[in-house]
Amino acid sequence: MLGQVLAEFPDQVRLVYRDFPLDFHSGARPAAEAARCAASMGRFWEYHDLLFIAQPDFSRDQLVGYAARLGLDRTAFAACLDGRRFTTAIDADVAEGRARGVRGTPTFFVNGRRLVGAHPIEAFREVIRDALDEARK
């Protein structure tokens, strides 16, 4: 859905993803670690999209399998995942989210304006148009 928003505002909107794995989602953190590994191999968004399709099947073997499906090196990906290279980076995202008052997912900030939970695309269009109007003043 946000992909459609980006397509509608190609020169005006940037989407930045932050990890906020909830404690009671047991597979969320391994998935976040895996997505970071994919990012380090240049395939973050494809992997990100696969995870949303696959959820909640986030066993280690499945996470490695998704990478292989994208053509990533299975051994290198498994080493990255097992090494937990991105724990600190994910913790930093969580800390940032908490500092901003994030309590659940998804939470969005559109030029600082908070949107909590899933919203129809029209809600994003409206907030983006407001932000663009504000920027023109």
Partner 1 sequence: MARPLSLAALVLALWATACGAQADRSAPPTGAAPGAARAVDSTAMARGPAAATVTILEFSDYQ
Longest dimension (CA), the chain: 53
In angstroms, give the least distance from the CB of 79 to partner 1. Answer: 18
In angstroms, give the least distance from the CB of 69 to partner 1. Answer: 16
In angstroms, give the least distance from the CB of 98 to partner 1. Answer: 9
Q: Please say which residue, 68 or 118, places its beta carbon nearer to partner 1.
A: 118
SS3 25: coil
SS3 81: helix
In angstroms, give the least distance from the CB of 89 to partner 1. Answer: 8
Question: For residues 65 and 85, is the Cβ–Cβ distance under 8 A?
Answer: no
Q: Please say which residue, 82 or 134, places its beta carbon nearer to partner 1.
A: 134
The residue type found at 3 is: G
Can you name the residues that pair with 57 across neighbouring β-strands? none
Contact footprint for partner 1 (CB under 8 A): 2, 5-6, 9-22, 25-28, 31-32, 35, 39-40, 42, 44-45, 48, 51-52, 55-56, 58, 89, 92-93, 96-97, 99-102, 105-114, 124, 128, 131-132, 135
